[in-house]
Amino acid sequence: MTHVSFSDLRTAAYCPRKLYYARQDDDRGGPPAVDAVRDLAFRYDDLLESADSALAAEPIAVDPATYRERLETARDRLESRGRWATLCEPEVRDLLATGRHCRGVVHKVLADPLEPSLLSPGRPPARGVWEPHSVHAVAAAKALAWERETAVETAIVEYPAYGVIRRIDLTTRRKASYRRALRTVRSLDGPPPRVRNRSKCESCAYAETCGVRTRTLRSLLGFG
């Protein structure tokens, strides 16, 4: 059976129709700027010591004071659990992990206990993590568990541009979302129905191809 990629699972959890068009274009890579943001996640200690001017020159999405405050909060929380040092210097980085059903890159592999950490270049939600990242986290945990033959029940999702680090339990609900995304990817043989949440379409590169009408600035101002 062909393994499903982490990126396909993540896209399917966001919008199955977007995955369909991305497959048609064979375009599932990220922009080069993503690498610069992800690199921040391996320099947290240095960033905490950086002057405001140096921090402002980094690819961060908030002001230096806010960024430093968020990182300090995350550091204090993770240090209390003995996880900060291993998060900054993980056992393995950018591991290509292959599980029973899926495979992909785990950005950080933390040890004792075994735990994946995934890096998102985007904005975090107000609380928790976005569903596509939750699905990705479950996939990474399952792949690690399969390779290491040990249970993995938690994962970390980092939003390095915002200084936000969130640890999540891999609950029954999260695992169900993962299985749903897995079924979606494997059954995709034509354009699925459009998603009801049209806010997802605003920044989608396939909006025109898909045929959705997004809300332009003119319509938001009441002129459309």
CATH code, 29:
3.90.320
Spatial distance between the Cα atoms of 71 and 83, rounded to a whole number of angstroms: 14
**Number of structural domains in the chain:** 2
Residue 27 has a pLDDT of 58
Residue 219 has a pLDDT of 43
**Same domain, yes or no, for 138 and 45?**
yes
* Contact criterion met (CB below 8 Å) for 7 and 18: no
The tally of CA atoms less than 13 A away on the side-chain side of residue 54 is 8
**Same domain, yes or no, for 181 and 199?**
no
* Contact criterion met (CB below 8 Å) for 28 and 18: no
Residue 140 has a pLDDT of 98
Residue 220 has a pLDDT of 39
Residues in the chain, pLDDT under 70:
1, 26-31, 212-224
**Same domain, yes or no, for 155 and 198?**
no
Cα dihedral 158, 167, 47, 72 in deg (nearest 10): 140
Q: Which of 184, 217, 222, 215 is nearest to 20 (CA)?
A: 184
Helix 6-14 and helix 16-25, axial crossing angle in degrees, nearest 10: 130
Only one residue has tokens 């569903």, namely 131
**Same domain, yes or no, for 200 and 172?**
no
**Same domain, yes or no, for 135 and 189?**
yes
**Same domain, yes or no, for 221 and 116?**
no
Domain extent for 23 = 4-193
**Same domain, yes or no, for 119 and 135?**
yes
Residue 211 has a pLDDT of 72
**Same domain, yes or no, for 72 and 171?**
yes
Kindly report, residue by residue over 101-115, the tens digit of the pLDDT.
Answer: 999 999 999 999 999
**Same domain, yes or no, for 173 and 69?**
yes
Cα 72 to chain center, whole Å? 21
**Same domain, yes or no, for 163 and 208?**
no
**Same domain, yes or no, for 202 and 185?**
no
Cα dihedral 50, 63, 56, 120 in deg (nearest 10): 90
Residue 212 has a pLDDT of 63
**Same domain, yes or no, for 126 and 155?**
yes
Number of CB atoms found within 10 A of residue 89's CB = 12
Residue 134 has a pLDDT of 98
